[in-house]
Chain A
Amino acid sequence: MTEQVTEKDVQLWVGPQHPGVTGNMSVQIWLRGDTIQMGRTHVGYLHRGFEKLMERRKFIQSFPIVCRICVPEPDTNEYLLAAGVEEIAGIVIPEKARWLRTLALEMARLAATLQALGGQVGMMGLGTVPNWTYTLRDYILDRFEELTGARIYHMYIVYGGVRRDLPEGFAARMEEDLRAIEERLPFIDNLIFDNAVFRKRAIGVGKIDPAWIDEMGITGPTARACGVPRDVRRNSPYLVYPELDFDVITAEGCDIFARAQVRRGDITQSIRIIRQILARMPKDGPYCARMPNMLHWTVEKGQTYVRAEASRGEMGYFVVTDGSDKLRRVHVRGPSYVHAVSLLERMLPGTNISDLGATMVSMQTCPPEIER
């Protein structure tokens, strides 16, 4: 116990099945009245030893593992594993694969952001918005199913490129979905940002001190809601992002409301990016480099760190190879590792217990990427 906690304080475990927790994770809190004195994040409910499993499998066999590290947005994990190994092995992917990978990543960001925005207000009891946003997310999952054969775990990005080209008529069907999302967005705006309940529970709640951003390594929408334009797509561009026109959305409040504003802006930017990709992508050309037999492929000794902008912030993979046919070590650095443990524990003292769930969800916590 630290100085701010006394024996008279009430200890309470929130989770791992609490609706305010975005996955199986617990927060142990010490309460005085209804004010949290101290909080401690506990994980371990989803640990399956993904990093260890990858050390025992051939390179290609790691894709069904990494996509499970974040259920709402698996494609970032697939991309980072592929990019890390390709960098060490010196593999250059074809031009069309760069566009198709960016498309998959942006579709995943859009689907995950819709889910997160709905989840944010849904946990405050405003059930209409998640009904809409989850339906809209399902439209994107329909396109994923068409593109990859799977709705959730796509395993679309592989070493050398992607598994397949766009199906016939994909762009037209995607455009229909994007229009459906755009038509619904004004209603969503009205029901979130002009809603007295949401404003009262979000403005000035879950504040982050901008000084913590560099100190703690805060990234993505959580940093951008403090006015810091931190976005890997712009700051350290990869794939075809340097060729695309998009804005890095920021807000100023540093609170739950500002983080929701950033997510809402991200939806518009993702739609904009997807349209540009479908309009400008090369029609022909290979979508995967010629690769050696995956059952016998060995990669020279090396190590690297690759990163990409997931919907929650910077996601990174530390990849180590040793010249064998298996990964020597993979360490996943998900944004939730910092946001939901160190940052959340720092934010909680002084918070009202009724704001705990909203604060946690506002950072789009994804527990599997903490424990892997």
Chain B
Amino acid sequence: MQTTLQALKNQFTVQWEKQQRADLHQVGLPREQTLAALTWLKEHTPFVQLTHMSVVDWIEEDQFQITYLLMNPRSYDLLMVCTRIARSGATMESVHKLWPQAVTYEQEMNEMFGVEFPGSPRQGESFILEGWEDIPPMRRDFDTVQFVLDHIPDRPGRLSINTREFIGRKVGEKRLLHD
């Protein structure tokens, strides 16, 4: 792992790094270098397997974090590569030519967060949602409660319990509400 990390730092601009566990290291890379770094990692290091891809919406900073988790199938070590992209017009290079299963991840990230992966084969095809017209639902500014209120009519006669009040009565309002 240390050899790979050092070589990665020699070749690319590693913005930050962290050892989360003995078998999990995290690094941050600039967006422009991410595809080149992933290609280099796959071709020149033992981190050949893409285990996972994900998006985190940091809406306060107007950025998405794209995360690639690579695994060394011999030592089972993990390397988490993180990069940040602008939230508006979010676009990222596709890695489906490196790892074929990335097509599914990129299709889902496109649908759920609105991140575009130009050239990825199933961009724009629905993965889970059909006929979705609202903003991508996994974005932080998508309000699930409002969506339910707008689209799902209340059933007459249904009893709704305010959980906060209910638990408050059980454990005591002061203890619950002191925050």
CA distance A234 to B44 in the complex (A): 26
User: What B residues does A232 contact at CB under 8 A?
Assistant: 76
| Closest chain A residue to B103, Cβ basis | A342
| Closest chain B residue to A371, Cβ basis | B128
- Chain A 179-218, CB within 8 Å of chain B: the 1/0 string? 0000000000000000000000000000000000111110
- Least distance between B132 CB and chain A CB atoms (Å): 11
With A52-B138, A304-B21 as known contacts, state yes or no: A341 contacts B49, CB within 8 Å.
no
User: What A residues does B104 contact at CB under 8 A?
Assistant: 337-338, 341-342
The answer to whether the Cβ of A127 comes within 8 Å of any Cβ in the partner chain is no
With A44-B129, A305-B24, A342-B101 as known contacts, state yes or no: A51 contacts B138, CB within 8 Å.
yes
- Least distance between A345 CB and chain B CB atoms (Å): 9
CA distance A215 to B50 in the complex (A): 8
How many A-B contacts if CB must be within 8 Å?
90
The answer to whether the Cβ of B130 comes within 8 Å of any Cβ in the partner chain is yes
- Across the interface, B128 reaches (CB within 8 A) one of A47, A56, A303, A329, namely A47
User: What A residues does B52 contact at CB under 8 A?
Assistant: 305, 316, 318, 331, 333
| Closest chain B residue to A314, Cβ basis | B51
B101→A329 contact, CB < 8 A: no
Residue of B21, B51, B142 ringed by the most chain A CB atoms within 10 A: B51
With A44-B129, A329-B57 as known contacts, state yes or no: A235 contacts B176, CB within 8 Å.
no
- Least distance between B135 CB and chain A CB atoms (Å): 13
Where chain B touches its partner, the secondary structure class is mixed
- Chain B 142-170, CB within 8 Å of chain A: the 1/0 string? 10110000000000000000000001000
- Chain A 221-249, CB within 8 Å of chain B: the 1/0 string? 00000000010100110000000000000
- Least distance between B105 CB and chain A CB atoms (Å): 8
- Across the interface, A215 reaches (CB within 8 A) one of B51, B57, B100, namely B100
A295→B176 contact, CB < 8 A: yes
With A87-B21, A331-B52, A331-B54 as known contacts, state yes or no: A217 contacts B78, CB within 8 Å.
no
The answer to whether the Cβ of A328 comes within 8 Å of any Cβ in the partner chain is yes
User: What A residues does B145 contact at CB under 8 A?
Assistant: 56
The answer to whether the Cβ of B99 comes within 8 Å of any Cβ in the partner chain is yes
- Least distance between B43 CB and chain A CB atoms (Å): 13
- Least distance between A64 CB and chain B CB atoms (Å): 13
The answer to whether the Cβ of B91 comes within 8 Å of any Cβ in the partner chain is no
CA distance A235 to B77 in the complex (A): 9
User: What B residues does A295 contact at CB under 8 A?
Assistant: 167, 176
The answer to whether the Cβ of B115 comes within 8 Å of any Cβ in the partner chain is no
B51→A328 contact, CB < 8 A: no
The answer to whether the Cβ of A123 comes within 8 Å of any Cβ in the partner chain is no
User: What B residues does A328 contact at CB under 8 A?
Assistant: 56
The answer to whether the Cβ of A285 comes within 8 Å of any Cβ in the partner chain is no
- Least distance between A62 CB and chain B CB atoms (Å): 15
Could you list 20 examples of A-B contacts with CB < 8 Å? A51-B138, A52-B144, A214-B48, A217-B101, A232-B76, A235-B76, A303-B20, A303-B26, A305-B52, A314-B51, A316-B52, A318-B54, A318-B69, A320-B56, A329-B54, A329-B57, A331-B52, A341-B104, A342-B101, A346-B100
Binding site for B on A (CB under 8 A): 43-44, 47, 49, 51-53, 55-56, 87, 213-217, 230, 232, 235-236, 295-296, 303-305, 314, 316, 318, 320, 328-329, 331, 333, 337-338, 341-343, 346, 371
